[in-house]
Amino acid sequence: MSSENMDEQNRLILADYLKGICILFVLIFHGLGFAVIGDVNQTVNSLPPLLFIISYPLGILGTFAGFFFLTSGLLNSYLIYQKLRQNIKPGKIFLSNLASNLGILIIHYIFVIFFINTPPHFGYRSILTGSLENGVFSWGFSVELLFFNTALSVIALNGILTTCFVLLIWILRKRRLNREIYLIFAVFGFVIIAIAPLLAEQVNPVMVEFRDSGRIILATLCSWIAGPSLR
């Protein structure tokens, strides 16, 4: 194996290690949220002192859960770049990644319909939790669950977006627009970070309006852009 291939393999291993660490942050985040405080922030004030002392530093680590999606996006971008260097056609890469990420999105919808257990104050029921609560099996579930985001939907949409961005950068680089590319994407990234909270605040009511009026496709698109999470 050449030194260049070994370097690439080491970078992939490092990226997987980082994803593993970030998954631990995600587990801490959800563990504290659902198991310790039951996803009710006021519960923190009534925790026993010893449990609070143990939970507080873990809670700080849990705030880094979002880095899992960052590392996933970086790793996905790197793998796409490697495929492009191997002269695999951008169209083939796009279709392959689109199919795999749509598969993850389908799993997300199966999960929220059949299995998800939401915090009590939401009042939403999946098929499983509703059946357990009623003591009899029922196919009914809360339709509102379809318009919430979970880690699975974020991973899928992250994968689709990074695929599009990397392929777009590759195509523009072929036209020798390197400096303009990096400037445009840097500005775009800072703008998205800056307006994301406001965007979510503005889009969520629109999504609810579309959902309640039966415009399901538009409501789904809005939920992908800035849909609420089950938190």
Sorted by where each begins, the domain ranges of the chain are 3-177
Mean of the pLDDT values across residues 154-177?
83
Average pLDDT, the chain: 78
The C-alpha R_g of the chain, in whole angstroms, comes to 21
CB atoms closer than 10 angstroms to residue 203: 18
Q: Is the confidence at residue 110, as pLDDT, over 90?
A: yes
What is the reported pLDDT for 227? 65
The answer to whether 55 touches 95, Cβ cutoff 8 Å, is no
The answer to whether 206 touches 215, Cβ cutoff 8 Å, is no
For 55-78, write each residue's pLDDT tens digit: 667 777 777 777 788 788 888 888
For 80-106, write each residue's pLDDT tens digit: 888 888 888 989 999 999 999 999 999
Residues 6+ apart with CB under 8 A from 70: 22
CA dist 84 and 175 (Å) reads 15
What is the reported pLDDT for 34? 61
Q: Is the confidence at residue 22, as pLDDT, over 70?
A: yes
What is the reported pLDDT for 172? 77
Mean of the pLDDT values across residues 9-28?
74
Segments in 86-135 forming alpha helices (H):
90-114, 127-134
Q: Is the confidence at residue 176, as pLDDT, over 70?
A: no
